[in-house]
Amino acid sequence: MEKSFEFVSRNSVKQSSSNGYAEKFEQDGFWYKANVGAFNSHAEVVACRLSKYTNVNKCVEYSLIKQNNEYFTKSADFIKGRPFETLSSLHSKVTGTSIEYVQNTLFGEKLFTYVINFVKSAVKKDVTEDLVKILKFDAFVLNEDRHFKNLALLLVNNQWEIFPMYDFDCALFSCIEDLDNLPTEHKSLPFFFTHNEQLRFLNKISNFKLIVKPFNPQQIIDNLWDKEYTIGNDVILAYLETVKGGLTL
């Protein structure tokens, strides 16, 4: 049985995103993040489950919990006191300026090149292929909210490594208000406006192919939606049906 908790906590922080704030906190070695929309938490768990059917199976593992009729995602604390920097925080510490400020002047390929060169200079790490993998997975799960506060580095054995993929509460249509009129072009961040644009660029600079193996859509969504709360279930299931046979990006 899931241990109960008080949401108000000394460790509670506001986790920012371009779409707003998701309240999150740490307790007993786990992070809890509140559902901020109709089915953001459900979408995050589905994205995590889908990662296991790809060759980018490096995702923070989320589970869905419900308490007092509120939904949360739960994930293990992978940081465990080790040095950890988002690309946003690293940029601020090294340059004294916000990387979001850089976004006001650079876009697309120029912004991508800037970020790669910055990280390489700051921590002696080439993150090109890591970013390609994350961004291609974002395209697969239709994530609208990848930004420099949810791309991060973790110090492991004295070497900086890209942190496992995390923050998918704006994937799989969960940040779209009108589910009866889904867009044909899906928004992306942080380098290009749409996933199609971003994929064309990624395929130009890298030979990496995201491979999605066939899967059973019903198993992916098992035990997530209550009978009385099915918002998002139909649109996610419909999308999974279109890609269940596998694909390559």
What's the pLDDT tens digit per position in 74-108? 999 888 888 999 999 999 999 999 998 999 999 99
pLDDT band at 21 (very low <50, low <70, confident <90, very high): low
pTM of the predicted protein model: 0.90
Whether 195 shows a pLDDT value over 50: the answer reads: yes
Comparison of pLDDT for 20 and 244, the residue scoring more = 244
Percentage of residues in the chain having pLDDT higher than 70: 91
Query: In whole numbers, what is the pLDDT of the chain averaged over residues?
Result: 89
Distances in Å between the Cα of 150 and the Cα atoms of 13, 43, 153, 241 are 15, 16, 10, 28
List, for residues 24-75, the tens digit of each pLDDT value.
888 888 999 999 889 999 999 999 999 999 999 889 999 999 988 889 999 9
Burial class (CB in 10 A: 0-12, 13-18, 19+), 186: middle
- The amino acid sitting at 243 is V
Q: Which residues pair with 31 in a beta bridge?
A: 26, 75
Q: DSSP for 145-213?
A: ---TTS-EEEEETTEEEEPPB---TT-TTTT-S-TTS--SS-B--SSSSBHHHHHHHHHHH-----EE-
Instruction: Provide the strand spans (E) within 49-109.
Output: 63-67, 70-76, 84-86
Write the secondary structure of 31-45 as one string of H (helix), E (strand) and C (coil).
EEEECCCCCHHHHHH
The whole-angstrom separation of Cα 175 and Cα 19 is 8
Taking alpha carbons only, the member of 82, 203, 183, 63 closest to residue 133 is 203
List, for residues 206-244, the tens digit of each pLDDT value.
999 999 999 999 999 999 999 889 999 999 999 999 999
Classify 26 as helix, strand or coil: strand
Whether 12 shows a pLDDT value over 80: the answer reads: no
Taking alpha carbons only, the member of 120, 98, 234, 111 closest to residue 179 is 234
Q: Looking at residue 183, what is its pLDDT?
A: 87
Whether 8 shows a pLDDT value over 90: the answer reads: no
